[in-house]
Amino acid sequence: MELPEKQNQIKLLFLTSMALLAIALLVTLGLSFSNLNPTKNVIILSETAEIKSSPSKNAKTIQELHQGDMLQVSNQKQHWYKVKTDKKQTGWLKTTQTNFGEPMPGTKQNAVISEKKVPLTLKPNNESNVIQTLKKGSKVIVTAELTGWTQITYNKVQGWVPSTSLKKHGKKDGEAALENKVYTRQKGTAIRKEPKQTSDTLSVAPYGEKLIFLSQVDDWYQVLTDDKKVGYVPNWVATFSKPSKTDPYQISPLADKTIVLDPGHGGKDKGATSNNGEVKEATLTLATANYIKKALEETGAKVLLTRTDDSEPKMPNKKKGAKFDLVISLHYDSSGTDDGATGTTVYYHHASDQVLAQAVNTELAQVLTIPNRGIEAGTAEDAPDGESSSLRLDLGYMNNDSDVREFITKTYQEDLAKSLTKGLMTYYEIR
């Protein structure tokens, strides 16, 4: 009788262990998926907004929203947020209509608290939780406006205050817009013939150039130049407020970023080689890094390189506990057989960088002349700096003659640098 009883005990112990293992697995998967799809609340800033059935302005409208409505975002695809309607139906909302999208009229202004003990609230209403109380004279930055409420940033903390409690400095974007003027906010702003990045350039405007605003087409401003040419500039490189003369990068979302470029290989490690043996990956990645460095520095970013010559790469020094805003590793791929594969790939090492990878890849896909292989998840162990956001760009195949013919050209390298910079600008603009 003892044997069956002992067998039952063993069976019960086994079943209990399997149940605990299953629970642990479900918890782990739940955490992983929550990291891949981080949620956040957004508020509608435009007077009206529409939730679409798919991320396209031509898609069917499944719900109308109004200024002040709040929704929870579960994911992002380029300039669209994935949200749920009142009926729990999944839909898509344009990011520019929310407090995390493009700056709305009247935003990015300096202001001062004009009343005593003003509560900074989490949401734009009197019943919301109070984050902290602001003293009269506190200097803040206006980031969004609703009827009766203003979103501000104070010492890197964002919240809402009654609009009547603020005294603003300078003109609002909306007031400037009545004068039909816009100003370029970065060096070398290309004025395009058509409202698309691949269009011919009519002229190149310096920082702070005044243009006559004619109309808006999607994310582009139609403008009139001093020499009477009608062209288009992206709305992320132009503003209705006259930029500061002393700080030409104050509006750039990359102005306070430290970005490390890591040109793959170097020293004894030459990396992959082209089929004819003439092009070495280590030489090419360093050239690419220099093109990208120039483009990023024009936006005000601080750019560091892990190597500046044919030596082994070394991560720049940083203070203990600090981290870089972004590390980008640059490589050119190689396949098992000559001409066996083609295209570019963007890898992200942390789930939190998936949206960043998508923003960069979207721009590369639109501009570069070789096929795009999309984004892929790498591992955190492969990240060059485990504490910082990081991407790896594989920019074509060294043993594909067609790829090599494209990426050794100056045009490809310049287009790569510009499209990468644009992708980063777009990503950090909404962060």
- Residue 137 φ/ψ, nearest 5 degrees: 95, -5
| 267 and 409 fall within a common domain | yes
- Residue 336 φ/ψ, nearest 5 degrees: -65, -25
pLDDT at 271 (0 to 100): 93
pLDDT band at 13 (very low <50, low <70, confident <90, very high): low
Last residue of a domain, one of 147, 170, 193: 170
| 186 and 127 fall within a common domain | no
**241, 212 Cβ separation under 8 angstroms:** no
Last residue of a domain, one of 141, 170, 199: 170
Domain membership flag for residue 103: no
| 375 and 310 fall within a common domain | yes
Distance CA 428, CA 155 (A): 19
pLDDT-wise least confident of 36-45, 130-139, 401-410: 36-45
- Which pLDDT tens digit goes with each residue over 368-391? 999 999 999 987 667 777 678 999
Highest mean pLDDT among 35-44, 155-164, 317-326, 328-337: 328-337
Q: What is the CATH number of the domain that holds 276?
A: 3.40.630.40
**245, 208 Cβ separation under 8 angstroms:** yes
| 339 and 302 fall within a common domain | yes
Radius of gyration of the chain (CA): 26
- Which pLDDT tens digit goes with each residue over 320-348? 767 889 999 999 999 989 999 999 999 99
Buried b (16+ CB within 10 A) or exposed e, 178-196: eeeebbbbbbebbbbeebe
Domain that holds residue 123: 109-170
Number of domains in the chain: 4
Question: What's the whole-number mean pLDDT along residues 307-329?
Answer: 87
| 263 and 396 fall within a common domain | yes
The token pair at 232 is 């288009």
Strand spans (E) along 39-197:
40-43, 48-52, 61-66, 70-73, 75-77, 80-84, 90-94, 109-113, 118-121, 130-134, 139-146, 149-154, 157-162, 166-168, 181-184, 189-192
Domain membership flag for residue 28: no
- Which pLDDT tens digit goes with each residue over 65-95? 876 677 778 888 877 888 888 778 889 988 7
Last residue of a domain, one of 143, 170, 197: 170
Burial of residue 318 (CB within 10 Å: 0-12, 13-18, 19+) is middle
Domain membership flag for residue 208: yes
Domain membership flag for residue 356: yes
pLDDT-wise least confident of 9-18, 92-101, 223-232: 9-18
Domain membership flag for residue 26: no
pLDDT at 245 (0 to 100): 56
| 141 and 59 fall within a common domain | no
| Residues sharing a CB contact under 8 Å with residue 424, sequence separation 6 or more, in sequence order | 254, 259, 296, 326, 359, 360
Domain membership flag for residue 25: no
The token pair at 260 is 């490390």
Residues above pLDDT 90, as percent of the chain? 34
Q: What is the CATH number of the domain that holds 45?
A: 2.30.30.40
Domain membership flag for residue 166: yes
The token pair at 227 is 């020499």
Indicate the average pLDDT of the chain. 79
| 225 and 269 fall within a common domain | no
**305, 289 Cβ separation under 8 angstroms:** yes
pLDDT at 327 (0 to 100): 95
Q: What is the SS3 assignment for 52?
A: strand
| 276 and 393 fall within a common domain | yes
Query: Which of 131, 123, 178 minimizes the C-alpha distance to 150?
Result: 123
| Predicted confidence (pLDDT) at residue 104 exceeds the cutoff of 60 | no
Domain membership flag for residue 21: no
| 350 and 272 fall within a common domain | yes
**228, 251 Cβ separation under 8 angstroms:** no
| Predicted confidence (pLDDT) at residue 51 exceeds the cutoff of 70 | yes
| 215 and 335 fall within a common domain | no
| Predicted confidence (pLDDT) at residue 404 exceeds the cutoff of 90 | yes
pLDDT band at 102 (very low <50, low <70, confident <90, very high): very low
Distance CA 209, CA 244 (A): 12
pLDDT at 199 (0 to 100): 83
**78, 55 Cβ separation under 8 angstroms:** yes
Between 245 and 267, the higher pLDDT residue: 267
The token pair at 116 is 């005593």
pLDDT band at 22 (very low <50, low <70, confident <90, very high): low
Between 196 and 413, the higher pLDDT residue: 413
Highest mean pLDDT among 187-201, 209-223, 415-429: 415-429
pLDDT-wise least confident of 157-161, 221-225, 416-420: 157-161
| 268 and 402 fall within a common domain | yes
The token pair at 14 is 């086994």
| 81 and 193 fall within a common domain | no
